[in-house]
Structure formats: C-alpha cells, structure tokens
C-alpha cells in the first residue's frame, strides 16, 4: 500500500500513475478538492508534454507579456508558444478524477497526523483512523507534515503571495503585465477584458502590502487567493535516507524562484517518483535541479536590483535579439536561454555585476 498525503496537482498526478500498478490511498484534509485556491493558475506550453489539458479548463490564453519598468517604460514580449490560464480548482479536480479512474482509494476530509515505523512497514495516523502502509508520499504543501514527521523538513524559508481575482480596469486580453520593483514579483493575468488575477509576492511585511494595494488600485476584489510559497532549497531531502518516505511538489520546495510557480515541477517530480522510486532523487537533480538553482540565483540578484537598474533591464530586453530569445524559450527552464542572453548581450554582464555589488554592500 502506498499512502499519498495531499490531493493537489502533484499528489493526484502521482496517484494516477502509481495506482495503475499499486494499491494507492490518497488522503486529503479538505472536504472539497481544489479549494481554497491560492495560485495564479498560469501554465507554460511545456505542460503539454506531461499531461493533456482539457479545453474546458482553459479560461484564457496569454500571447504576450508586458514588462513595465519603474519609470513607466514598457516592452512587450510576444510568446512563440502561448500560456494557458486555468480554472485552478477545476484543474485540481481533473487530476484527482484521473487518480480515481486509475483505481486510487480516496480519503477526503482526513488529515495526516503522523506515522511510526513498525518492522519494515509504517503505521500512519489520521484524524479518523490508522493504516498500515509500505510507502508514504508527502504532497502536502509548503509546511509538509510528512516532511516534519520524517525529520526531512530542513531549513525552510517562505514568502507570501498576496493575490486576488478581481474586476480590473483597462485590461489587455491575452497580455500578462509584470511591474518591476513591486514586491519580488508582481502580475496582472487577465481572464478576459474585465476580470484578472492580480498579485505581488515577497517577504510578508507592510511594504509588500503597500505594493499589493498599489497594483490593485481601485479594482474590486471578487475572491482572495493569497497564500504562502516555499523558497527552493537545493539541500532539501526528497527521501528519508533509504526508507520509503518521499516528498514532491511544494512539500519538497520544488518551486522556481523567478516567478514562484511550481505546478510543472510538481507534476514532473510525481512522474519521476512513479517511474522509479529509487532513482527519483537522482533524476530530479539531473533533470530539474539545475533550472531551480539558476532561478534561485536569478531571484537573489533581482531582489537587489534598484529602480535605475530595473529601468536598464527593460532597455536591454527591448533589443530585438534579446526579446527574441525571451519569446522563444520557456521560462520554466532558464538553463535553455540564460546562456544565450549572456552571450548576446554584454550589458547584462555589467548590469549583473552592478546588482551583485548592491547585494554584497548591504
């Protein structure tokens, strides 16, 4: 028996794969799958290589990114492959239904409380019962009770995402707007010409709240979708020694630090674990670790970028050769484009060095 804790995208997707050959039990502490929503739900085209997205889950498509500098200068990046804005709760429910169809046993409204080892098996305890199990998979979010119970929680750091679905004036359908120097990252993702998902992310303090109010402006909030996000930890253990206890997705801090999205990484990790549990850690590090590490280093530099440097960055990206690289490559995998940018644009080296000086002087 495999016990999967958490029926978010990573947990449900893994369960849908593992249940084809194993006795899988999927535990979810909430009564309803996919709620509350605490995610923007925008995915790059790379998700298609992992799973087919039903058309009825696609709320809108993003064809361009608009990046706005502090001095209000803006550039547009045309995307070679469109992004999808999903019905986020519906997406979770879709993956959950695939787990059910594959034969997973479902335990809704059942919270994981801990486990103990008994001989070569485990006994997990929930708020409703106890279960003997051979393997535990923690897909239980940033604060992962599974990781805590197993002693592989590690040194975790979190940031806060203020987000709301709201009525927003003067939207450009098909265009995601990014405003530099508001929080660590900010976004306006339109669903149509009237409603958008709007937010900022960073350390939870008064400045972040002020930035959130600034980007919201006079818009009318329809639904709060705020929540915590883990910062990727390259030293995070994905498995408890050689035991059959694993973590995937947010529970394993598998979130890229540039835009703080983690759905695709969680799905891929679930796939690796289902393919071969003993090769999971090695394959994750080989396939995804480098990109997550690059994203982390990019974020560290961006967090020390002042307004003047943010304005310079827009001027650099405005060049056709640079914007072409950005438009053609998937932001989920920066290793595929960051070297090209650095080779093409000497000003990026200078800007990076200046930002690094800002960092070490603080």
Structure-block tokens of residue 311: 């304005």
In a shared domain, residues 92 and 149:
yes
> Residue 293 domain-assigned?
no
Cα atoms in the 13 Å half-sphere on the side-chain side of 257: 25
In which residue are the tokens 């940031």 written? 159
pLDDT of residue 201: 94
Sign of CA dihedral 72, 75, 76, 79: negative
> Which residue, of 230, 254, 273, is where some domain finishes?
230
In a shared domain, residues 93 and 125:
yes
In a shared domain, residues 304 and 198:
no
CB 42 within 8 A of CB 62: yes
Q: Which residues of 105-129 are buried (b: 16+ CB within 10 A; e: fewer)?
A: bbbeebbbeebeeeeeebebebeee
Closest to 269 (Cα-Cα) out of 328, 255, 62 = 255
In a shared domain, residues 342 and 195:
no
> Which residue, of 180, 200, 230, is where some domain finishes?
230
pLDDT of residue 356: 58
Residue 246: domain span: 2-37+88-156+238-288
Structure-block tokens of residue 190: 């339109």
Structure-block tokens of residue 150: 């197993």
- Structural domain count, the chain: 3
In a shared domain, residues 28 and 50:
no
Closest to 94 (Cα-Cα) out of 208, 199, 8 = 8
pLDDT of residue 319: 81
Task: Read off the CATH number of the domain in which 275 is found.
Answer: 3.50.50.60
pLDDT of residue 261: 87
In a shared domain, residues 110 and 31:
yes
In a shared domain, residues 81 and 213:
yes
pLDDT of residue 205: 94
> Per-residue confidence of the chain (362 residues) as pLDDT tens digits?
999 999 999 999 999 999 999 999 999 999 999 988 888 889 988 899 999 999 999 999 999 999 999 999 999 989 998 999 999 999 999 999 999 999 999 999 999 999 999 888 999 999 999 999 999 999 999 999 999 999 999 999 999 999 999 999 999 999 999 999 899 999 999 999 999 999 999 999 999 999 999 999 989 999 999 999 999 999 999 999 989 999 999 999 999 988 888 999 999 999 999 999 999 999 999 999 998 998 898 888 888 888 888 888 888 888 887 787 777 777 777 666 666 666 555 666 566 666 656 555 55
User: Strands across the sheet with 121-126, in order?
Assistant: 112-118, 121-126, 130-133
pLDDT of residue 351: 66
In a shared domain, residues 96 and 7:
yes
In a shared domain, residues 283 and 165:
no
In a shared domain, residues 73 and 176:
yes
In a shared domain, residues 16 and 93:
yes
In a shared domain, residues 144 and 245:
yes
pTM of the model: 0.92
Task: Read off the CATH number of the domain in which 190 is found.
Answer: 3.30.9.10
């Amino acid at each position: 028996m495999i016990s999967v804790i958490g029926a978010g995208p990573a947990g449900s997707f893994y369960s849908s794969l593992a249940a084809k050959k194993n006795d899988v039990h999927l535990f979810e502490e909430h009564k309803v799958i996919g709620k509350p929503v605490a995610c923007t739900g925008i995915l790059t085209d790379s998700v298609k290589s992992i799973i087919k997205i039903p058309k009825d889950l696609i709320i809108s498509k993003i064809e361009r990114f608009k990046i706005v500098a502090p001095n209000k200068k803006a550039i547009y990046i045309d995307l070679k492959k469109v992004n999808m804005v999903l019905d986020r709760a519906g997406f979770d429910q879709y993956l959950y239904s695939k787990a059910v169809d594959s034969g997973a046993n479902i335990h809704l409204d059942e919270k994981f409380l801990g486990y103990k080892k008994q001989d070569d098996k485990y006994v997990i305890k929930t708020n409703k019962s106890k279960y003997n199990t051979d393997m535990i998979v923690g897909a239980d979010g940033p604060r992962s009770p599974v990781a805590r119970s197993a002693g592989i929680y590690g040194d975790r750091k979190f940031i806060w995402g203020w987000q709301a679905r709201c009525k927003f004036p003067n939207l450009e359908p098909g265009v995601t707007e990014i405003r530099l120097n508001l929080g660590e990252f900010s976004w306006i993702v339109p669903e149509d010409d009237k409603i958008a998902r709007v937010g900022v992310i960073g350390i939870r303090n008064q400045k972040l709240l002020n930035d959130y109010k600034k980007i919201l402006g006079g818009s009318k909030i329809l639904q709060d979708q705020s929540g915590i996000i883990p910062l990727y930890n390259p030293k995070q253990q994905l498995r408890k020694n050689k035991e059959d206890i694993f973590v995937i997705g947010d529970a394993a801090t598998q979130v890229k630090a540039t835009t703080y999205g983690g759905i695709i990484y969680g799905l891929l990790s679930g796939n690796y674990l289902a393919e071969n549990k003993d090769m999971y850690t090695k394959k994750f590090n080989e396939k995804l670790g480098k990109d997550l590490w690059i994203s982390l280093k990019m974020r560290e530099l961006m967090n020390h970028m002042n307004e003047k440097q943010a304005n310079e960055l827009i001027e650099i990206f405005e060049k056709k050769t640079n914007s072409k690289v950005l438009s053609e490559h998937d932001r989920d995998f920066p290793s595929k484009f960051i070297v090209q940018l650095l080779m093409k644009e000497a000003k990026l080296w200078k800007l990076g060095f200046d930002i690094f000086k800002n960092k070490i002087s603080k």
